[in-house]
Amino acid sequence: MSATMSLSKAAYVDAMALTTARPGQVTRRIYLFRHAKSSWEGDGLEDHDRPLSPRGEHAARAMADYVRREGVAPDLVLCSTAVRARQTLEALSLRGENRYEEGLYGAGAAWLVSRLRRVPGSVGSAMLVGHNPGLQDLAVLLAGKGDPLLLARVREKLPTGALIGLTFHGEWTSLAEHKATLESFVTPRDL
């Protein structure tokens, strides 16, 4: 399997997950999307207010094309209120419910796990659009299984504009360390 497993294999992954889940358990999908490259221009701008750079805008559009092509359609998107995160999400044009939450800005992995545990049970898939190091730490914390090459890449670096896909079995409230499977890791450079 390649180091950039396609999310179009989601149906296969879901079918395989169902065979390994306990009876009555639901397979959940988590997407972690690091905002695209931000601009450092603009004297006096607070970090929270930095927009995407031209390179970031291009990467966000490329990832948006990828997301559409691969059928990534989370039921719920939780997005940082930082300008660059909001602009990244806007480029994706996702149709699910989008919530902008201040707590995602600068959040660490423990806080992010806690937030995911509060996702309603009716939600089958959720996406976090946010920042490093929190998202990378979260991916490393959650991923107990998956392609060793992908796991190594995630541990090494989560570049701007990158998208991680994870699955786990059970309710959101049961999300825990090493309980998820890393299914995909795609960066703008991979496209």
Task: Give a yes or no: residue 10 inside a domain.
Answer: no
Task: Give a yes or no: residue 175 inside a domain.
Answer: no
Q: How far apart are CA 137 and CA 112, in angstroms?
A: 10
Which residue range forms the structural domain that includes residue 132?
29-147+185-191
Q: What are the structure tokens assigned to 118, written together? A: 């509060």
CB atoms within 10 A of CB 19: 6
Examine the pLDDT at 84 and tell me if it is beyond 80: yes
Task: Give a yes or no: residue 8 inside a domain.
Answer: no
C-alpha 88: how far from chain center:
12
Task: Give a yes or no: residue 55 inside a domain.
Answer: yes
Task: Give a yes or no: residue 12 inside a domain.
Answer: no
- CB-based contacts of 17, cutoff 8 Å, min separation 6: 27, 167, 169, 181
pLDDT tens readout for residues 86-133: 999 999 999 989 999 999 999 999 999 999 999 999 999 999 999 999
Q: How far apart are CA 150 and CA 186, in angstroms?
A: 9
Q: How far apart are CA 54 and CA 141, in angstroms?
A: 32
- CB-based contacts of 114, cutoff 8 Å, min separation 6: none
Task: Give a yes or no: residue 19 inside a domain.
Answer: no
In the chain, the number of structural domains is 1
Task: Give a yes or no: residue 3 inside a domain.
Answer: no
> In 3D, which of 80, 171, 163 has the Cα closest to residue 124?
171
Examine the pLDDT at 20 and tell me if it is beyond 60: no
Q: Indicate yes or no: pTM above 0.95.
A: no
Task: Give a yes or no: residue 174 inside a domain.
Answer: no
Examine the pLDDT at 35 and tell me if it is beyond 80: yes
Greatest CA separation found in the chain?
57
Examine the pLDDT at 174 and tell me if it is beyond 70: yes
CB atoms within 10 A of CB 21: 15
- CATH code where residue 111 lies: 3.40.50.1240
CA atoms within 13 A on the CB side of 59: 25
Q: What are the structure tokens assigned to 33, written together? A: 């999307």
